Amino acid sequence: MDDLTPLRQQWLDRINGAADPAAIEEVRLAALGKKGEISLKMRELGRMTPEERQTTGRALNELRDELDAALRARKLSLEDAALEARLAGEWLDVTLPGRPRPQGTIHPISQVTEEVTAIFADMGFSVAEGPQVESDWYNFDALNIAPEHPARQEHDTFFMRRAPDDNRPPHVLRTHTSPVQIRAMQDQGAPIRVICPGRVYRMDMDQTHTPMFHQVEGLAIDRDISMAQLKWTLEEFCRAFFEVGQVELRFRASHFPFTEPSAEVDIRCDWSGGQLKIGEGDSWLEILGSGMVHPNVLRAGGIDPVQWQGFAFGMGIDRIAMLKYGIPDLRAFFESDLRWLRHYGFAAGDVPSVSGGLSR
């Protein structure tokens, strides 16, 4: 076979002239592919004499290996050049400060729950929790709610579905957090001082009611608990929660199955100028219900009403949040966008503090 030097130089020039990976692959197929020029020359070895085959075969193998190495080197060189160009165009200054990332914040309801919890913790109340799907006994019977009470009807309460042949006592989505009080009494006995925050469910929906809302209830049981201590507790809470120096509460006689005597609690306020001001003015606003725990409720909790007595109260977390932050529609908490909440001071960058309020 003729000298392979010109052929070698021809393919090395084509390899060095390849400008991108696609051109490299094109050269490889033309030289070393099944129908490439070097491969075709390898097939001609069968027509040569043994002496020619040995000499030419060795030369072709060496040429093939050399071209393969040259192809790999050229491909690597192109990749390195592309990386250098990319690094030159996409350089990063590591001395620059980091990019700020938006910081989330807790929901207003969660924030107010934390505020309420912190205030009552300062007065010695611990937090008690219970299931949101409750038995009929814990939700009604243990709380001295009679079988004919309207709250036990399907138009007021969400009852869990039962199969037609299932005769077990019904279960409900709890209508208040009062069942947690029963469970706490059974677990801890007396004396006891707890608050019970959580979600509750009732079949109600308008500007000031939603089917799911949030309550916090309080329970204190000891030997000599009185209505006077209940009044002091609520006054201290309102003073701290609404951040006013002085509050005035008015107790109105009422009826709740689980307390006796029972009282609705109003707070003195002022509506002049279209804004609510707590602690001043000539108006009164109902904010919660309260009373002394009924003896039947104490018995259901496993506590002897002859030896112990206590008070209880309950309020809507959503409601007191509306009062504190001036939100007129309860549905704003659940159906509105961030612009609505920001209007009332709950901006995306606000960070809640455990002791209540916003740290800006």
Q: What is the pLDDT of residue 343?
A: 56
Say if CB 182 and CB 142 are below 8 A apart: yes
126-127 vs 192-201, strand pairing mode: parallel
CA–CA separation, 64 vs 10, rounded Å? 13
Q: What is the pLDDT along the chain (360 residues), one digit of tens a residue?
A: 456 788 888 888 888 888 888 888 888 888 888 888 888 888 887 788 888 878 888 888 888 888 889 888 988 998 888 888 887 787 777 788 888 887 777 778 888 999 999 999 999 999 999 999 999 899 999 999 887 777 666 567 888 888 888 888 888 999 999 999 999 999 999 999 999 999 999 887 665 567 888 999 999 999 999 999 999 999 999 999 999 888 999 999 999 999 999 999 999 998 887 788 888 888 999 999 999 999 999 999 999 999 999 999 999 998 898 888 777 655 555 555 555 566 555 554 444 443 333 332
Q: Which two tokens stand for residue 65?
A: 């290996």
CA quadruple 57, 62, 63, 68: dihedral positive or negative?
positive
Q: What is the pLDDT of residue 202?
A: 87
CA–CA separation, 349 vs 357, rounded Å? 14
The burial class, CB within 10 Å (0-12 / 13-18 / 19+), for 165 is: exposed
CA–CA separation, 239 vs 231, rounded Å? 12
Q: What is the pLDDT of residue 199?
A: 93
The burial class, CB within 10 Å (0-12 / 13-18 / 19+), for 256 is: buried
The burial class, CB within 10 Å (0-12 / 13-18 / 19+), for 125 is: buried
DSSP for 108-171 reads HHHHHHHHHHHHHHHTTPEE----SEEEHHHHTGGGT--TT-GGGSTTTS-BPP--TT--SPPE
CA–CA separation, 13 vs 21, rounded Å? 16
